[in-house]
Amino acid sequence: MPTPNHLAALRAAAAAATPGPWEHQTSNGWHRVGTTAATRGRRDGDVVANGAASPADMAYIAAANPAAIQELLADLDAKTARIDKLELLLAAERAARQFEIWPEWKRQIVERRRKAILKGEG
């Protein structure tokens, strides 16, 4: 899994990049990735990348535009939060099974914590 620093660098790079949408463009045998001209109010969009990259590489670069990266990062954040919640819930369930021999007041604390996690207050 990427480190927090790597994720922060991806977020910063996506925020600083030329806004999209991006598209793979060809003209007279040239390949480039640029912004969609119609969304930029000009005949030609901004060139994001050009050169000797293959058409497949250019299509990949266009697909990995800032919006796509930000969407992936948001999805990763949501899944990470869900995993964290499920791990807390699992720990609470394991604790509840182990603590059956505890006094009633201790079992009530565990049960309140489990319910809070289920409600999203955990």
Separation of alpha carbons 97 and 81, rounded Å: 25
Residue 120 identity:
G
Structure tokens at 84: 């964290």
Sorted by where each begins, the domain ranges of the chain are 18-64, 78-119
pLDDT at 41: 56
CA angle 71–6–14, rounded 5-degree value? 40
- DSSP secondary structure of 26-72: EETTEEEEEE-HHHHTSSS--EEEESS--HHHHHHHHHT-HHHHHHH
Mean pLDDT by 10 residues, the chain (122 residues): 84 81 73 66 59 73 84 93 92 78 82 86 66
- DSSP state, residue 23: E
pLDDT at 84: 93
pTM over 0.85: no
pLDDT at 17: 79
